[in-house]
A = this chain, B = another copy of it.
């Protein structure tokens, strides 16, 4: 498993920057996500959204998180020694994300260290900055990933 994955703990040194995506926000998916998980009018109903403070339909912040997760998966996680994540901090929803927007993510590694309790695992703390097609930051967050190490 370790030998077969392209990315292991050692491939995420402090200071590394990766660009993930792009992903265009699909209106049908915005409505589906809202219908399932976040049926507030400004996520679900175009007429109500137009009349709201948002001035139009916006994606649920959790949908944006989920889209970022998918960009991580496609860029590196699915071909890595990832063992999941204990959590995420400082999610900031900075600007509305609208159908038709094209998002990409700038990942920066902030901290990387072997696990004290599990020497075969390393912990990587990263910042993910989500930008739209106008280079405006629409979301940011920080989180820890656990990755198997190549050398123990």
Contact = CB atoms under 8 A, between A and B. Distances in A.
How many interface residues does chain A have, given as a range? 20 to 34
B73 A66 contact: no
A126 interface: no
Q: How many copies does the complex hold?
A: 2
Contacts of A119: none
Contacts of A66: 33, 36-38, 62, 66
Given A66-B66, A91-B91, A61 B85 contact: yes
A133 interface: no
A77 B87 CA distance: 25
Contacts of A65: 62, 65
A83 interface: yes
Interface of A: 29, 33, 36-40, 42, 53-54, 60-62, 65-67, 69-70, 73, 77-78, 82-93
